[in-house]
Amino acid sequence: MIPYGRQSINFSDVFGVAKQVAFRSLTQGTRIPEFEQNFANYVGSKYAVAVSSATAGLHLAVLAIELIPNSQIITSPISFVASSNAILYSKHRPLFIDIDKSSLNLDMKLVEQELNSNSLVKAIIPVHFAGLPCEMEQLAKLCNSKGIKIIEDAAHALGARYASGKKVGSCEFSDMTVFSFHPVKSITTGEGGMITTNSAELYKKLLRLRSHGINKLDDEFQLPLQASTKGVPNPWYYEMQELGFNYRMTEIQATLGISQLKRLSRFVQKRQSRVVWYQEALNPSLKFKPAQNTSTNTSAHHIFPIRIDFSKIMISRADLMKILKDRSVGSQVHYMPIPLHPYYQKLGYNVDKLPEAMSYYNEALTIPLYPNLKRFKQKRIVKILKEVIQ
């Protein structure tokens, strides 16, 4: 079976994890800070905070900006539900803005219109769909003048670059950026995530929030008389200073992350090579085409979505996916617009103002892409699609 995505694990990864499990700490040791520092160095941020998942990272990031309750936060309807769920977790309200037809990211013209007419919007979570960065410089200009916070959902985009050349995660245009280390992402720690920021204040708050509201590293104690004996710090003492969560990463995950990060640039290069081949193979005469029509030189290429006008061919998407599966080719749909989910419909959401999101969803199909995908398998995938669709 050729899956739509797959992790790349080598001997160094396995040996490092085995060594950590056998001889070193399993949680709250030195490997997590090492991974965080290496990660910050890679993306070019001042700080990085490892967490148990990107969903946890988004939740903490929204909490850290301390908005008044029931604030509106703009995000994309074409994303995994974690993007907007984190807003709901934090007692705010997602505001879905339609996507751009070419990039499949937020339509900046529509975002600008909303920001100019809606004073209830206090933050925005742009989603770098499929690894292609949003127009962040333009977004930052729109938001900075209005005091609107920006949290990048870069779950797809580790290894991508902004148009400026800086890496996604440097927070050049945002308050925080959140990444995912799920197995199909750029690198994996099994499950896990990372938040980057250039703000010391946000960094300390994130450290507290990920660990029950406790930061033993450099927070000033609020009860100094309890914290020391005769002027000497009590070795057992710590303080819970706010309500936090257990969103910590393990040492085992961090060890795998350290090893994977060393090969990230190579992973991105391999994904780029495979995308270039797909783009050349899908010529304009075909009845299916790449879903993102903008330049993808800056993309991390997490997935490769294509568009098929199923209304003009003699087969449904469900039947096509079954044929692909029967011929050992995995496929997926990224994503059903979030407002279509029953939970969101119960909250009063709909897709009435999201025509581009719906148009994309009705035609979307993700075909296999991962670093170790062999060329002969790519040829097989495209050959089957041509046979079935044409």
**Alpha-carbon dihedral 328, 334, 340, 343, rounded to 10 degrees:** 90
pLDDT classification of 314: cutoffs 50, 70, 90: confident
What confidence tier does 350 reach under pLDDT thresholds 50, 70, 90? very high
Could you tell me which residues are beta bridge partners of residue 169?
A: none
Q: Which of 228, 263, 298 is a domain's end point?
A: 263
In a shared domain, residues 221 and 93: yes
CA proximity to 144, closest of 109, 180, 113, 175? 175
Tell me phi and psi for residue 194, to 5 degrees: -145, 140
Q: Is 144 found in the same domain as 244?
A: yes
Give the sign of the dihedral formed by CA 368, CA 369, CA 370, CA 374: positive
- pTM recorded for the entire structure: 0.96
Lowest mean pLDDT among 192-206, 286-300, 353-367: 286-300
Instruction: Specify whether 81 is located in the same domain as 111.
Output: yes
Q: What is the pLDDT of residues 236-295, one digit of tens each?
A: 999 999 999 999 999 999 999 999 999 999 999 999 999 999 999 998 778 999 999 876
pLDDT in the model for residue 140: 97
Residues 245 and 196 in one domain: yes
Nearest in space to 302 (alpha carbons), one of 182, 385, 165, 197: 182
Q: Which pair of structure tokens corresponds to residue 277?
A: 């081949």
For residue 111, being part of any structural domain is answered with yes
CB atoms closer than 10 angstroms to residue 184: 17
Q: What is the mean pLDDT of residues 325-346?
A: 98
User: Does residue 2 lie within any of the structural domains?
Assistant: no
Token output for 349: 């959401």
Looking at residue 250, what DSSP letter applies?
A: P
Looking at the fold, whether 308 and 346 belong to one and the same domain comes out as yes
> What is the domain extent for residue 288?
265-389
CA distance 90 to 266: 37
Residue with tokens 């003492």: 237
5, part of any domain: no
Predicted confidence band of residue 111 (pLDDT cuts 50, 70, 90): very high
pLDDT digits (tens, 9 = 90+) for 43-92: 999 999 999 999 999 999 999 999 999 999 999 999 999 999 999 999 99
pLDDT single digits (tens) 162-183: 999 999 999 999 999 999 999 9
* Residues 377 and 275 occupy one common structural domain: yes
Give the closest residue to 186 by CA, choosing from 292, 249, 268. Answer: 268
56-90 in b/e form (b: 16+ CB < 10 A) is bbbbbbbbbbebeeebbbbbbbbbbebbbbbbbbb
Residues 231 and 284 in one domain: no
The domain boundary residue, chosen from 237, 263, 289: 263
Instruction: Provide mean pLDDT across the span 147-156.
Output: 98
Q: Which pLDDT score, from 0 to 100, does residue 202 have?
A: 97
Q: Which DSSP state fits 310?
A: G
**pLDDT value, residue 100:** 97
Does residue 274 sit in the same domain as residue 148?
no
370-379 pLDDT, tens digit each? 999 999 999 9
Tell me, yes or no, whether 255 and 353 share the same domain.
no
- In angstroms, the CA 133 to CA 269 distance is 17
The total number of structural domains that make up the chain: 2
Residue 328 lies in a domain: yes
Helix (H, G, I), strand (E, B), or coil: what is residue 123? strand
Q: How far apart are CA 323 and CA 330, in angstroms?
A: 10
In a shared domain, residues 151 and 42: yes
Residue after which a domain boundary falls, among 226, 242, 263: 263
